[in-house]
Amino acid sequence: MKLLYFAHLRDKIGIAEEQLDLPRGVGDVAALLDHLTGRGPKFAGALGNRKTLRVAVNQTYVGWDHPVRQGDEVAIFPPVTGG
């Protein structure tokens, strides 16, 4: 799957995007976030507080229980501030 990070999450993590082989047992957004925060302090710092995260799967906003699959584009970003 393709993972995208935006705004201050990208700054904290240090990359804008990456390819990830969906780990065994990761079936939804919540499990994916658990997996990512377990990678180390940079990821835990950026993605640890879910209240400040928004997630889009294939460019549509989703909730924590939305399924994720190998071919998906998953974007993780802070609340938006346009307009």
Partner 1 sequence: MIRVQREDFDVGAEIEALTRGQTGIGGVASFVGLMRDIAGDKKIGAMTLEHYPGMTERELERIEAEARRRWPLIASLVIHRYGRMLPGDRIVLVVTASAHRAAAFEACEFLMDYLKTKAPFWKQEETPEGARWVAAEASDDKAAERWTKE
Residue from 2, 7, 27, 65 binding partner 1 (CB under 8 A)? 7
Q: Which is nearer to partner 1, 26 or 77 (CB)?
A: 77
CA dihedral of residues 38, 28, 46, 53 (deg, nearest 10): -160
Cα separation of 57 and 38, whole Å? 21
Residue span 38-67 as binding mask against partner 1, x where in contact by CB under 8 A, dash where not: ------------------x--xxx------
Residue 54, token pair as written in the block = 């928004």
Please report whether residue 82 would count as binding partner 1 according to CB under 8 A. yes
Closest residue by Cα to residue 1 from 67, 81, 82: 67
| Closest separation in Å from C-beta 60 to partner 1 | 7
